[in-house]
C-alpha cells in the first residue's frame, strides 16, 4: 500500500516538474515546526568591546544572530545552515602594513631568509618589479600572476609541518607600518569579536581567501582558532616527497614519504572561483558573508541571492587614515559597490573603537630603499 501511495505521489509531482523540491520543502517546513516547539533560544551575548557603542552595523549583526538562534522567530536558521564565510586579507587581517600578508612573507623568504637562496630571476623580480609596485601602489594583474608562480616555487619541497611552522614564525616578526605590532597581532580586534560571537552562537565559520591555502590555514588556526578544514583558498600542488616526476595518480605513497609543497599553482581563489569553491567544499549556501573588495563581491552576491534563509553581506571599508594606513579612494569604491549590490558596510573609522592591540602605534611605512612612503 505504502509503495503504491509513494509511486502515485512521485508520478503526480513529477508531472508538474516539482517532485524533489516539493518533497524537500514539505520536510523542511515540518522539521522547522518541530524544532520551534522543542528548542529554546540559545543566543550568546558578546560585549563587542572593540566596536563603537553606537555602531548601527554592529547592532544589525547582533539582531541577525539573535533571530537566527531563536526557534520561535520567523528568521530562525537551523544550526546546520548557519554558515558564515570570511575573506582574510583586508577583512580579518591587515593588508595595508604595507600589503598582503603572503606577499610580505614572500619578500622575507627571497631577500632576508638566511636558510634559503632564491634563484636570481626571483630576486630580480622582487627587487626590480614587485617591491616597487607594492610601495607605489601599482601592482598589476600581470605582476600578481608572476608573484603567484614564484611564490609556489620558493617554498617547493617544504614539508607541510615545516611550512606551517615557517608561516607561524613569520607571524612573530614586526610589521612595516605599526610600531610594536607583529603580523600575527595585525588581525583586526573588532573582527576577532565577530568570529568569536558567531562561533559562540553555533555558526560554522569558514575562511574563503584569495591567498594560498596552507598560508591562510597556518595563520587563522593559530590566531583565530578556525579549524584547518574550514579554510578554502588558492591551491598549490601537494606531493609525496619521493614521487619525483611520476604522477600521484600512479605513484603509491610509502612509509618513507612525507607530504611536501609542489611548485605548481592549481587555481587562484578569487571572484567566481570563491563561489564555486564554496559550493564544492561546503555544499551549503552561506547566510553571512564578510569581505572588503571586488574580489569578494561574487561571494557576497551568492550569499544573499535566492537564499532559503535570511542572509546578509558585510564589506569592510579601509577608511581610517589616522590609526591605520587606510585608502579612502578604495573605501569609496567599495562603498559604492556595496550600495549597488545591497551589502552592508563596516567603517573602520566610525565602527571600530580599537583596530589593533593598544600597544600598536601607526608609523611611516618604509620602502625597499629605506625611505618613508608618502
The residue among 28 and 62 whose pLDDT is bigger is 62
Question: Tell me: the pLDDT tens digits for 119-156?
Answer: 999 999 999 999 999 999 999 999 999 999 999 999 99
Task: Indicate the class that CATH gives domain 41-95+183-243+267-354.
Answer: alpha beta
Confidence of residue 41 (pLDDT cuts 50, 70, 90): confident
Contact between 94 and 130 under an 8 Å Cβ cutoff? The reply is no
pLDDT greater than 70 at residue 32: no
Q: In angstroms, what is the C-alpha Rg of the chain?
A: 23
**Residue 281 Cα distances to 15, 47, 101, 200, 288, angstroms:** 33, 32, 24, 23, 16
Question: Tell me: the pLDDT tens digits for 235-281?
Answer: 999 999 999 999 999 999 999 999 999 999 999 999 999 999 999 99
Residue 42 has what pLDDT?
84
The values of phi and psi at residue 248, to 5°, are -60, -20
pLDDT greater than 50 at residue 158: yes
Contact between 287 and 82 under an 8 Å Cβ cutoff? The reply is yes
Contact between 359 and 186 under an 8 Å Cβ cutoff? The reply is no
340's grid cell? 549597488
CA distance 44 to 65: 9
What is the residue whose three cell numbers read 618604509?
Answer: 366
pLDDT greater than 70 at residue 199: yes
Over residues 34-40, the mean pLDDT reads 59
The residue among 13 and 237 whose pLDDT is bigger is 237
Sign of the dihedral through C-alpha 283, 288, 291, 297: positive
Which range among 29-33, 109-113, 243-247 shows the weakest confidence by mean pLDDT? 29-33
Confidence of residue 31 (pLDDT cuts 50, 70, 90): low
What is the residue whose three cell numbers read 629605506?
Answer: 370
Three-class DSSP category at 361 = strand
Question: Tell me: the pLDDT tens digits for 315-325?
Answer: 999 999 999 99
Question: Tell me: the pLDDT tens digits for 68-93?
Answer: 999 999 999 999 999 999 999 999 99
pLDDT greater than 90 at residue 327: yes
Ramachandran quadrant class, 225 (left: phi over 0; alpha: psi -120 to 50; beta: rest): left
Question: Tell me: the pLDDT tens digits for 166-189?
Answer: 999 999 999 999 999 999 999 999
CA distance 84 to 59: 17
319's grid cell? 577608511
Residue 374 has what pLDDT?
76
Confidence of residue 39 (pLDDT cuts 50, 70, 90): confident
Three-class DSSP category at 346 = strand
CB atoms within 10 A of CB 14: 12
39's grid cell? 528548542
Residue 361 has what pLDDT?
96
Residue 10 has what pLDDT?
40
Ramachandran quadrant class, 244 (left: phi over 0; alpha: psi -120 to 50; beta: rest): left
Confidence of residue 12 (pLDDT cuts 50, 70, 90): very low
Residue 11 has what pLDDT?
41
As a whole-number percent, the residues of the chain with pLDDT over 70 amount to: 90
Residue 37 has what pLDDT?
52
Amino acid at each position: 500500500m505504502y509503495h503504491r501511495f509513494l509511486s502515485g505521489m512521485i508520478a503526480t509531482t513529477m508531472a508538474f516538474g516539482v517532485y524533489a523540491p516539493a518533497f524537500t520543502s514539505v520536510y523542511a517546513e515540518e522539521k522547522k515546526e518541530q524544532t520551534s516547539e522543542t528548542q529554546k533560544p540559545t543566543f550568546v551575548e558578546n560585549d563587542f568591546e572593540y566596536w563603537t557603542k553606537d555602531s548601527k552595523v554592529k547592532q544589525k549583526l547582533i539582531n541577525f544572530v539573535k533571530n537566527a538562534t531563536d526557534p520561535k522567530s520567523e528568521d530562525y536558521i537551523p544550526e546546520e545552515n548557519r554558515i558564515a564565510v570570511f575573506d582574510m586579507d583586508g577583512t580579518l587581517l591587515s593588508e595595508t602594513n604595507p600589503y598582503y600578508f603572503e606577499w610580505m612573507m614572500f619578500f622575507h623568504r627571497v631577500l632576508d631568509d638566511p636558510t634559503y637562496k632564491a634563484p636570481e630571476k626571483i630576486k630580480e623580480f622582487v627587487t626590480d618589479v614587485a617591491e616597487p609596485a607594492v610601495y607605489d601602489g601599482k601592482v598589476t594583474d600581470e605582476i600578481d600572476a608572476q608573484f603567484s608562480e614564484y611564490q609556489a616555487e620558493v617554498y617547493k619541497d617544504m614539508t607541510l609541518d615545516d611550512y606551517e611552522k615557517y608561516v607561524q614564525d613569520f607571524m612573530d616578526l614586526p610589521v612595516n607600518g605599526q610600531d610594536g605590532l607583529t603580523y600575527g597581532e595585525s588581525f583586526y580586534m573588532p573582527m576577532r569579536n565577530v568570529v568569536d560571537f558567531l562561533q559562540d552562537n553555533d555558526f560554522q565559520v569558514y575562511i574563503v581567501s584569495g591567498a594560498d591555502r596552507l598560508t591562510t590555514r597556518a595563520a587563522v588556526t593559530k590566531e583565530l582558532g578556525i579549524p584547518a578544514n574550514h579554510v578554502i583558498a588558492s591551491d598549490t600542488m601537494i606531493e609525496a616527497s619521493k614521487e619525483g616526476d611520476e604522477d600521484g595518480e600512479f605513484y603509491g605513497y610509502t612509509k618513507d614519504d612525507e607530504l611536501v609543497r609542489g611548485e605548481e599553482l592549481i587555481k587562484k581563489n578569487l571572484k567566481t572561483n570563491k563561489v564555486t569553491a564554496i559550493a564544492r567544499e561546503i555544499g551549503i549556501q552561506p547566510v553571512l558573508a564578510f569581505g572588503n573588495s571586488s574580489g569578494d563581491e561574487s561571494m557576497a552576491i551568492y550569499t544573499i541571492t535566492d537564499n532559503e534563509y535570511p542572509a546578509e553581506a558585510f564589506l569592510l571599508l579601509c577608511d581610517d587614515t589616522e590609526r591605520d594606513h587606510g585608502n579612502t579612494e578604495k573605501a569609496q569604491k567599495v562603498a559604492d559597490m556595496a550600495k549597488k549590490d545591497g551589502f552592508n558596510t563596516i567603517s573602520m573609522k566610525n565602527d571600530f573603537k580599537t583596530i589593533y592591540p593598544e600597544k600598536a602605534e601607526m608609523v611611516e611605512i618604509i620602502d625597499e630603499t629605506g625611505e618613508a612612503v608618502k
